[in-house]
Amino acid sequence: MIDLSSARLSRRGFLILGTVSASALILPPFLTAEATAANRYQPFSSRLSLTINGRQRQLDVDTRTTLLDTLRENLGLTGTKKGCDHGQCGACTVIVDDQRINSCLTLAVMHEGASITTIEGLGTPDALHPLQAAFIKHDGYQCGYCTPGQICSAVAVMKEIKAGVPSHASSSLIDAPTFEPREIRERISGNICRCGAYPNIIDAITEVAEASA
Ligand code: FES
Ligand code: FES
């Protein structure tokens, strides 16, 4: 405790008093050591509205939860796969408002009001999406772990090409986007297949893309 009644304040006392006073002014009361420790471990939940595969959903999510974990853990949509969990394999690809994204790299709360399509929203066992049927026809998978991400990515790739969206790497090499296998190979290159089913995957996507052109 500093004796404020002292008429003469030493240089050291003056500095201590100044520091204490400045801290009291600058730091808000909730940043006391005790409150900070409590806040650090306090989960924050947020109410979120999403349209998932055409169905309106409302859920409370921990604000630190990725979109991938929200889909898999909160909504039970386990068709979207967790491969690397840090943006390197594409297994977690979903379509958000017509754009494909790696759902492991984004927080669910960043997508309030968004429309999200997962592999479960593309087809059913009785009515397969054309890409799902083509993957079966061309044997476009082995273990199948990458397949939902490959197919979601391919759906978005076909839209990108039709809309004339240049791909990042090849825009300077290819004048106008086409459904040629080399273009599809480049665009789908973020989706890794550890089984190496790439030729068959490209065959499947090319066939559907050309048929829809
Ligand atoms: Fe998201 Fe690999 S799990 S990119
Ligand atoms: Fe096994 Fe692609 S089919 S990882």
Q: What is the mean pLDDT of each run of 10 residues along the chain (213 residues)?
A: 48 55 51 62 87 97 97 98 98 97 98 98 95 98 98 97 79 68 94 97 96 88
Report how far ligand 2's centroid is from the alpha carbon of 75 (Å).
Answer: 24
CATH 1.10.150.120 spans which residues of the chain?
Answer: 125-213
> In this structure, which topology does domain 44-121 adopt according to CATH?
Ubiquitin-like (UB roll) (3.10.20)
- pLDDT of res. 166: 82
Measure 79 CA to ligand 1 centroid, in angstroms: 13
Model pLDDT, residue 23: 47
Which residue among 89, 195, 200 has the greatest number of ligand 2 atoms within 8 angstroms of its CB, and so is best to mutate?
195
Residues 6+ apart with CB under 8 A from 123: 129, 132
- Residues forming CATH 3.10.20.30 domain(s) in the chain: 44-121
Is 188 close to ligand 2, i.e. is its CB under 6 Å away?
Answer: no
Bridge-based pairing state of the strands 99-102 and 45-52: unpaired
Q: Tokens 């959903």 appear where?
A: 57
User: Of 78, 86, 145, 192, which is best to mutate to test ligand 1, by the most ligand atoms within 8 angstroms of its C-beta?
Assistant: 86
162: nearest Cα among 149, 185, 175, 179: 179
Distance CA 84, CA 58 (A): 28
Please give the backbone phi and psi of residue 41, each rounded to the nearest 5 degrees, phi first: -105, 10
Task: State the distance from the centre of ligand 2 to the C-alpha of 135, rounded, in angstroms.
Answer: 12
88 lines ligand 1 (CB under 6 A): yes
**pTM for the full model?**
0.79
Instruction: Report the half-sphere exposure of 157 (CA within 13 A, side-chain side).
Output: 30
Q: Answer yes or no: are the C-beta atoms of 57 and 121 closer than 8 Å.
A: no
CATH match for 125-213 among 3.40.190.10, 3.30.70.1250, 1.10.150.120, 1.10.10.60: 1.10.150.120
